Amino acid sequence: MKTFIGGALALVIGVPCLGIFLPALAGLLAGTIPILLILGGGLAVYLGYEDLKADKEAKEDFTEPVSVPGPEEGSTEPDLAGQEEDSRTNPDDDAPRLVGNTDSLVFHKPDCGFAQSAKCTQKFSSPSQAADKGYKPCKICSP
């Protein structure tokens, strides 16, 4: 019963006070709107900056090619050791000729510097097979 009486008293006093102090209340609300906009904008900029930073880190992880050892400088003979092994271990035409990065969904030729990544685990026999799985061709080696 005390709660009901207290609530009714607050209502009876509050309604006339609202009429009296309405300009002050409007001024208070008008003053808080710019502050809320500044705080909201700052939060949005901060969260957007964190997203940009995460995107940049993801791109940096992808854009660092791994060097592929080639023939020594000054050598006139081509390095055929790796090619001979490949022809002996993969004699059939169904052997994978392309590798796909499961993180970036980009496929490469096996001799591409990006194909040496630990995340290049998906094997494809043709570019169309890779495209069917949602992979895009590498812009460096153009498989």
Q: For 111-132, what is each residue's pLDDT tens digit? A: 888 888 888 888 888 888 888 9
- In this structure, is residue 78 part of a structural domain? no
Whole-number Cα distances in Å, 9 to 4, 15, 20, 84, 137: 9, 10, 17, 96, 74
Q: Given this model, what pLDDT does residue 116 score?
A: 82
Domain that holds residue 120: 94-143
- In this structure, is residue 33 part of a structural domain? yes
Task: Calculate ∠ Cα 60-64-67, nearest 5°.
Answer: 170
Q: How many domains does the structure of the chain reveal?
A: 2
- In this structure, is residue 45 part of a structural domain? yes
Number of CB atoms found within 10 A of residue 105's CB = 13
Q: Given this model, what pLDDT does residue 58 score?
A: 65
Residue tagged 């998906």 (tokens): 122
Q: Given this model, what pLDDT does residue 41 score?
A: 87
Are both 50 and 6 inside the same structural domain?
yes
pLDDT (tens digit per residue) in 52-98:
777 776 666 555 555 555 555 555 555 555 444 444 444 445 556 88
